[in-house]
Amino acid sequence: MGINTNKFQFWKGPSAILLGLFLFACKIIEAQEILRPEAAFPYTLEANQNKITLTFQVQNGYYLYRDRFGFETSTNGVILGEAEFPDGQIHEDEFFGVMETYRDQFQIHIPIEQSTNHNEMEFQLLLQGCADIGLCYPPQRWNNLITFNSDNQSVGSIFANFLSATDVNDEPLPPDEAFIMDVRVEQANEITVSWIIQPGYYLYKDKFEFAVDGSIEIGAPRLPNGEITEDEYFGEVEVYYDYIESKIPFSRASPNEVEIQLQAQYQGCKVNSICYPIMEAFRNLVIPASSVFAATTLNESAPLMVSEQDRLANVIINYPLWAVMGIFYGLGLLLAFTPCVLPMVPILSGLIAGQGERVTPTRGFLLSFSYVMGMAITYTAAGAGAALAGGQIQAAFQQPWILILFATLFVVLAMAMFGLFELQMPSSIQNRLTTLANKQKGGTFVGAAFIGALSALIVTTCVAPPLVATLAVIGQSGDVFRGSSALFVLSLGMGTPLLVLGASAGKLLPKVGPWMHTVKVSFGFMMLGLAIWMLERILPGNITLALWALLVFFAGVFLGAFEALPNSPSTRQRLRKGLGVIACLYGALMVIGVSLGGDNPLNPIPQRSFLDGSVSNTNLSSLSFAPIATVTELENALTQASNDQMPVMVDFTADWCVACKEYERYTFPDRDVITALDPFMLLQIDVTENNDNDQALLRYFSSYGPPTIAFFNREGEELQAYKLVGFVNAEEFSSHVRQISSL
């Protein structure tokens, strides 16, 4: 007579959360073999009609949980009583908290409270235990058939019959064999991570996490839909069988080759068996240069597209240095005639005009040269520093108090040119202020260089493709010399028209006579206009329009709009009065525009006011942007757009960004642009404050500041080659957007 046993079996249903990892632990601790549960927790069983006694001999390095024991019988007429446990050891468990556990040898007694005469009894033992190395076995259910002799006594050991060929062959695979991971780059801005999942295994969708150590920024991973299953621990979950492929978009500021390390976290299980702990894998990966992908397109119908900034960055890296210098000098000349640089013209003109009779072509050129060198050196140093530090130094100089202070300086300079100091102050104080004003106006070469340096940081706030390219080369490749050299000659190109202006000042500006007063007052109005232009970055549009109205109206008064012409006026007098009348009328028109809600001095009357031939409050169709403040908000929006199969446009803007204002006034209100953007989800990131969240978003896109516009296709993939930096007019913009829509 003895005890017959069936082989043990796992509880049905995938076991999760805390559950063992056998061969994985073997790789970590090679010298220690991880035992199967029946070998780790052997026991013997003795029974009679009144009691069952279990004697455990737990192997060293293993333990059992007291509250995970369970005892059941399916034999009719048999009722088991409450088990009698010895005192265990208190253990701080990483999975369950404070638990009572058993180690080494111990006994459990299970009374049989009711029984009928029988020769055998089915008995189920439930238990769960762990190993000290940090793995836990799934809950076990071991079935036993107890037979009794004539004296109602059982004999024998239960453990002797546990192992079977089926058990040995069903041993879980090591995780790197159960889930075979592969990482590759198939597109210029996308990493593909895939797993081959062995039959009988699966991975959880919500357990994937990715990070990189390298000079790229990754976006939200894109995962396909999985299969819904009911998990014993997690409830309803989404899992993958057989094969899973994740697409991870990334952005980089430089098109050259870069090495990264990808970190992936994931978790999976064996069906009706163990669940592996969260697994972590590292893969070193070389991201090829963008040029490697030049022979392919984003899809078969899409034309090859390389962003302007990437093309220029490639020029800096690969072209001869003399060619780089020539190209970027020419680009600087082109930038000199954009709104980013034109505000420097009245500044420098005012400095030269302030010299009065002392101005000569030589002195004008030297003052201009000092101004341009101050601007170029500061621009280069600030740009290189920003690229190496990963920040945007210019943004720090766009704080409202700095802009107000600088605008106030221009107002003071304008008042001095109007002769206000002479009218209001004693001559002794006036002489001192005039001397001080001359110094501040660049009366000395050092002063001109100082004003040029301030202009580089405060007045010139635009981000254009050549600037982004130079910053990218410095920040990503570390080639400070080539990047800074390109940035320096770019600055010289921007300053060349200013040098021409300075050299010709002695010829263009009369030295004596009433024209001197006219020229100085004219530059005074320019200074006031520059002050208003700077305040546009922080003041509402209707207020700045009102300021422009006042300025233009009083400029008309200065030109003689309300002065009577002499009996025989000259052509010059007629022309001057005519211009004055036009200026006053335009100023009055801007005042009307303010009352109608206008904010554009070049188009003061809002277009909506003329719908149906009359003033109307009906709004035209306009673009509606969803504000984005954090990377998390951005990724959530991109995920939603991908689910809805919508392309996405992300617009970086700031109150102090001049080109951003141009987008708002000339590009975004255009009907063709509005129509082209109709299928897009429109997101806008305002980096005016330049706080930590703003900087994180700039890093996410490898952007150095506004205006930058990024695009994503319907699958949520960033179209790096279609990124726009700098101002683009409505016609080009709508064509660009329609090209993206066709992808």
Whether 120 and 50 map to the same domain: the answer is yes
CATH number at residue 665: 3.40.30.10
Whether 204 and 342 map to the same domain: the answer is no
pLDDT at 167 over 50: no
Whether 151 and 179 map to the same domain: the answer is no
How far apart (Å, rounded) are the C-alpha atoms in residues 287 and 382? 29
Domain edge (last residue) among 150, 169, 188: 169
pLDDT grade, residue 614 (50/70/90)? very low
Whether 420 and 447 map to the same domain: the answer is yes
pLDDT tens digits for range 131-164: 877 667 777 888 888 877 655 555 433 433 333 3
Which tops the pLDDT comparison, 559 or 415?
559
Angle at 134 between CA 133 and CA 137, to 5 degrees: 110
pLDDT at 240 over 90: yes
pLDDT of residue 628: 93
pLDDT tens digits for range 567-595: 888 888 888 889 989 999 998 999 888 88
pLDDT of residue 619: 41
Parent domain of 141 = 3-169
Asked if the structure places residue 521 within a domain, the reply is no
Least confident of 184-188, 430-434, 689-693: 430-434
| Of the candidates 112, 96, 246, 230, the residue with the CA atom closest to the CA atom of residue 179 | 246
pLDDT tens digits for range 285-335: 888 775 555 433 333 333 334 455 555 565 666 667 777 788 778 877 877
pLDDT at 259 over 80: yes
Whether 410 and 433 map to the same domain: the answer is yes
pLDDT grade, residue 386 (50/70/90)? low
How far apart (Å, rounded) are the C-alpha atoms in residues 379 and 455? 9
pLDDT tens digits for range 439-449: 444 446 777 77
pLDDT grade, residue 235 (50/70/90)? low
CATH number at residue 226: 2.60.40.1250
Token pair 């064999």: residue: 177
pLDDT of residue 12: 37
The per-residue pLDDT of the chain, averaged, comes to: 73
Mean pLDDT within 109-127? 81
pLDDT tens digits for range 512-549: 445 556 666 776 787 788 788 777 767 887 888 899 99
Asked if the structure places residue 480 within a domain, the reply is yes
pLDDT of residue 203: 92
Asked if the structure places residue 303 within a domain, the reply is no
Which tops the pLDDT comparison, 225 or 385?
225
pLDDT at 338 over 50: yes
Asked if the structure places residue 624 within a domain, the reply is no
Which tops the pLDDT comparison, 458 or 381?
381
Which tops the pLDDT comparison, 737 or 343?
737
Please give the structure tokens belonging to residue 348: 């420098």
* Cβ pair 605, 549 in contact under 8 A: no
Whether 266 and 405 map to the same domain: the answer is no
Whether 127 and 247 map to the same domain: the answer is no
Mean pLDDT within 626-632? 91
- 3-state SS, 400-414, equals HHHHHHHHHHHHHHH
Please give the structure tokens belonging to residue 194: 């895939």
Whether 130 and 184 map to the same domain: the answer is no
pLDDT of residue 168: 38
Mean pLDDT within 463-474? 52
Asked if the structure places residue 445 within a domain, the reply is yes
pLDDT of residue 322: 79
Whether 162 and 182 map to the same domain: the answer is no
Whether 369 and 489 map to the same domain: the answer is yes
| Of the candidates 97, 98, 102, the residue with the CA atom closest to the CA atom of residue 83 | 102
* Cβ pair 68, 13 in contact under 8 A: no
Asked if the structure places residue 495 within a domain, the reply is yes
pLDDT at 34 over 70: no
Domain edge (last residue) among 513, 529, 547: 513
Angle at 82 between CA 79 and CA 83, to 5 degrees: 115
Mean pLDDT within 490-503? 80
Mean pLDDT within 645-672? 85
pLDDT at 339 over 50: yes
Asked if the structure places residue 561 within a domain, the reply is no
707 prior amide bond cis, ω within 30? yes
pLDDT of residue 190: 81
Asked if the structure places residue 522 within a domain, the reply is no
Of the chain, the percentage scoring pLDDT greater than 70 comes to 66
pLDDT of residue 663: 86
pLDDT at 350 over 50: yes
Whether 278 and 397 map to the same domain: the answer is no
Domain count, the chain: 4
Domain edge (last residue) among 134, 169, 204: 169
In angstroms and rounded to an integer, the radius of gyration of the C-alpha atoms of the chain is 39
679 prior amide bond cis, ω within 30? no
pLDDT of residue 650: 95
How far apart (Å, rounded) are the C-alpha atoms in residues 160 and 341? 90
- pTM summary value: 0.38
Whether 269 and 157 map to the same domain: the answer is no
